[in-house]
Amino acid sequence: MLHAAQIWLVHAIERHSPVATLMRTHWAWPIAESLHFLGLSLLVGAIGSFDLRLLGVARRVPIAAMHRLVPWGILGFAINASTGLLFLLTEPDQYLYNPSFHFKLLALGIAGANAGLFYATSYRQVFGASPSLDAPRRAKMIALVSLTAWITVIVCGRMLTFYRPGDCVGTPGVLLTCQPR
């Protein structure tokens, strides 16, 4: 079932991709990659420093004041989601059959759910009427998960090149990690 979905998605993108022609021009891919690295830095700088503040670095800075950096992290994420989508819509098989991409998506999902958890459980404690300068224990755990998840996203992203899917031989696992023929 999952294999069929992967194959279907790769074929659908290959047939209908609106950006593949543009992305195959001489400089489009390198420019998109550069933007992807700029977005990465913005995300790590803004979200990473907010996480570190929750963990106790720069304790005298009000957490709510640090939180004003978060929209810039979201901007970095938006840049990377867009450029990432350009890569995916140009070479779908290189990503959808790539185990490193599967783990990258998993880490992205964890980072997203974890951020949701922060706003659902800790937002009021951290930004409430009498905000403490020391974040509650749960918020610290969330910050730690966030840092770990984003580092995993970077590592998996950088590892994509080294897990390029080859032709399938033998029995595949839960997800296809090779090119079906």
Partner 1 sequence: MSIDPFLVWLESTALSEWVVGSPSLLAFPGILALHAIGMGLAAGLAAVLDLRILGVAPGVPLVEFRRFQPVLWGGFWLNTVSGVLLLVGYPTKALTNPVFYLKLVLIAAAMALFVRIDRLIRSSDASAPATARSLRRLAITSLVCWGGAITAGRLLAYTYHRLRA
User: Distance between CA atoms of 157 and 136, rounded to whole angstroms?
Assistant: 32
Q: How far is the CB of 15 from partner 1 (least distance, A)?
A: 28
Q: How far is the CB of 69 from partner 1 (least distance, A)?
A: 5
Identity of the residue, 49 or 125, whose beta carbon is nearer to partner 1 in the bound complex = 49
Identity of the residue, 81 or 155, whose beta carbon is nearer to partner 1 in the bound complex = 155
Contact 176, 94 (CB under 8 A): no
Q: How far is the CB of 77 from partner 1 (least distance, A)?
A: 13
Contacts to partner 1 by CB under 8 A: 30, 33-34, 37-38, 40-46, 48-49, 52, 57-58, 60-62, 64-66, 68-69, 72, 151, 154-155, 157-159, 161-162
